[in-house]
């Protein structure tokens, strides 16, 4: 039998055929890069003496930005390769919770906050802090200068923005400490990532991090003056200065994974190289920003420079050495979480360990690396319109 094809006008349709074929081919071939990551020349050079490399993955809390500069610098500058590590840096994203990725076994290391991770630990995951990079907190509560809000006590009866997801804990503890019950005395408003609620005056005070959202305000043009907003337009209440120091970005691993001797070895190497990365970012602000820009999607150079400078202030100087957990700060962070009822019980003594960081720091010291950064002085970064 014949094929079921109508014998109508077989000619005169060639252009369509060509166009269809061409466009299909183009889509298949387009942008062959972009799905895998490349190795820099420095990195390839540094790793040439390794017999084999250990593959590890670290998952970040959010998209690539200067907040995670140390990891990118360690990779790009070949510090991971020098330690015979093949590190994959996994960016975070919407609904990606690093400590859960870690407990699911999809990464060997995760960057996370103490409180969030200890909550996950309480739920049964065996997560351990092995290095506390940010030894200082970065929470601000920002209000308009003309709002009359000058201290935390002034938040009484106001609309207070908060990000939630654990970011409210430090704020609420600080408010309670100033006699403002966040549940009764103020209206808490869920705040998106950016600062538009405050700019539109839909909240009286908004949460901001010193290294990110606060700069976003200063990078915004004031429609009334046509110039950028000035620090004097705002009141930035520093929760740390008010005595509410909580620990943010640190490095976590699984207890069961660390039970193996060779994995402890790997973890110590990873910490050493990462701290070296942070050291590079401390000493070479511009070079480190360039590395971040290379790895991040359409980030503004001005904003990332500000961010790195502020992040450096959270890490350096590190009195006892970069990444060393300060017991007092840990205890305070846990106290705040306990009082808020977020944690049912205090985490056991093994919830953080300093031996791996100590080992990393000793090796770094022997190589002449400045592990405390005592002489570190932050730079003065000028904000740019739109953070460009």
Partner 1 sequence: MPREPGRGGALVRRLTDPLGTLLVVAVLAGLWEGYKAFGRAVDDRILGIGLPVATDDLSMPHLWTIVGSLTAPARAGDTTSLAVYLVGETTVTLREALYGLAAGSLLGLALAVLFLHVTPVSKGLMPWLVASQTVPLVAIAPMIVIWGGKAGLPPWVAVTGIAAYLAFFPVTINSLRGLKSPPKVQLDFMRSVGAGRARVLWSLRFPAALPYVFAGLRLAATASVVGAIVGELSAGTGRGIGRAILTSAYYYSNGPEKLYAAVLVAAIAGILFVQVLALLERFALRHRHAR
Q: Near partner 1 by CB under 8 A, which window of 148-156, 213-221, 247-255, 315-323?
A: 213-221
Q: Which of 40, 50, 84, 106 touches partner 1 by CB under 8 A?
A: 106
224 binds partner 1 (CB under 8 A): no
159 binds partner 1 (CB under 8 A): no
* H helix or E strand, kind and range, residue 206: strand 205-209
What's the CA gap between 173 and 13, in Å, rounded?
A: 72
Q: Which of 122, 185, 194, 326 touches partner 1 by CB under 8 A?
A: 194
What's the CA gap between 348 and 346, in Å, rounded?
A: 6
108 binds partner 1 (CB under 8 A): no
161 binds partner 1 (CB under 8 A): no
What's the CA gap between 46 and 51, in Å, rounded?
A: 13
DSSP symbols for 1-44: ---S------SS-HHHHHHHHHHHHHHHHS--SSSS----HHHH
Q: Which of 112, 141, 167, 216 touches partner 1 by CB under 8 A?
A: 216
What's the CA gap between 257 and 213, in Å, rounded?
A: 36
240 binds partner 1 (CB under 8 A): no
The torsion defined by the Cα of 78, 79, 80 and 82, in degrees rounded to 10, comes to: 80
What's the CA gap between 117 and 120, in Å, rounded?
A: 5
Residues of span 47-86 touching partner 1 by CB under 8 A: 59-60, 63-64
Q: Near partner 1 by CB under 8 A, which window of 79-87, 136-144, 196-204, 250-258?
A: 196-204
Q: Which of 61, 99, 220, 245 touches partner 1 by CB under 8 A?
A: 220
132 or 210: CB nearest partner 1: 210
Q: Near partner 1 by CB under 8 A, which window of 44-52, 110-118, 145-153, 215-223?
A: 215-223
The DSSP secondary-structure symbol of 316 reads: S
297 binds partner 1 (CB under 8 A): yes
Q: Near partner 1 by CB under 8 A, which window of 33-41, 248-256, 308-316, 331-339?
A: 33-41
Who's near 24: CB < 8 A, 6+ residues apart? none
387 binds partner 1 (CB under 8 A): yes
What's the CA gap between 178 and 185, in Å, rounded?
A: 11
Cβ-based neighbour number of residue 232 at 10 Å: 7
The site for partner 1 (CB under 8 A) is made up of 1, 3-10, 12-13, 16-17, 19-21, 23-24, 27-28, 30-31, 34-36, 59-60, 63-64, 90-96, 101, 104-107, 192-196, 199-200, 216-217, 219-220, 223, 293, 295-303, 384, 386-388
């Amino acid at each position: 039998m014949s094929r079921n094809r109508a014998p109508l006008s077989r000619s005169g349709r060639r252009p369509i055929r060509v166009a269809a074929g061409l466009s299909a081919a183009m889509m298949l071939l387009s942008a062959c890069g972009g799905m895998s990551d490349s190795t820099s020349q420095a990195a390839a050079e540094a790793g040439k003496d390794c017999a084999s490399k250990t593959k590890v993955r670290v998952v970040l809390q959010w998209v690539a930005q200067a907040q995670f500069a140390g990891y990118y610098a360690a990779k790009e500058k070949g510090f991971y390769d020098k330690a015979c590590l093949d590190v994959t840096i996994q960016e975070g994203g919407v609904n990606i919770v690093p400590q859960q990725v870690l407990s699911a076994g999809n990464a060997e290391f995760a960057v996370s906050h103490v409180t969030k991770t200890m909550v996950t630990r309480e739920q049964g995951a065996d997560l351990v802090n092995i290095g506390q990079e940010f030894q200082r907190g970065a929470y601000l509560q920002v209000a308009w200068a003309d709002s009359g809000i000058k201290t935390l006590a002034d938040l009484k009866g106001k609309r207070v923005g908060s990000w939630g997801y654990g970011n409210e804990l430090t704020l609420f503890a600080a408010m309670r400490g100033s006699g403002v019950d966040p549940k009764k005395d103020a209206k808490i408003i869920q705040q998106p990532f950016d600062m538009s609620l405050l700019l539109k005056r839909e909240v009286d005070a908004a949460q901001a991090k010193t290294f990110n959202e606060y700069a976003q305000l200063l990078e915004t043009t004031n429609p009334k003056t046509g110039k950028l907003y000035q620090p004097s337009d705002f009141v930035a209440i520093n929760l740390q200065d008010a005595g509410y120091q909580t620990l943010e970005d640190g490095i976590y691993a699984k207890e069961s994974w660390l039970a193996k001797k060779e994995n402890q070895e790997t973890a110590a190497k990873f910490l050493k190289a990462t701290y070296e990365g942070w050291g590079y970012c401390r000493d070479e602000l511009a070079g480190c920003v360039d590395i971040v820009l290379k790895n991040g999607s359409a980030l503004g150079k001005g904003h990332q420079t500000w961010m790195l400078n502020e992040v450096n202030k959270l890490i350096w100087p590190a009195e006892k050495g970069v990444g060393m957990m300060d017991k007092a700060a840990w205890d305070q962070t846990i106290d705040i979480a306990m009082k808020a009822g977020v944690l049912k019980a205090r985490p056991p003594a093994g919830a953080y360990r300093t031996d791996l960081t100590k080992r990393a720091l000793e090796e770094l010291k022997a190589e002449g690396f400045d592990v405390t950064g005592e002489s570190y002085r932050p730079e003065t970064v000028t904000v740019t319109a739109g953070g460009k």
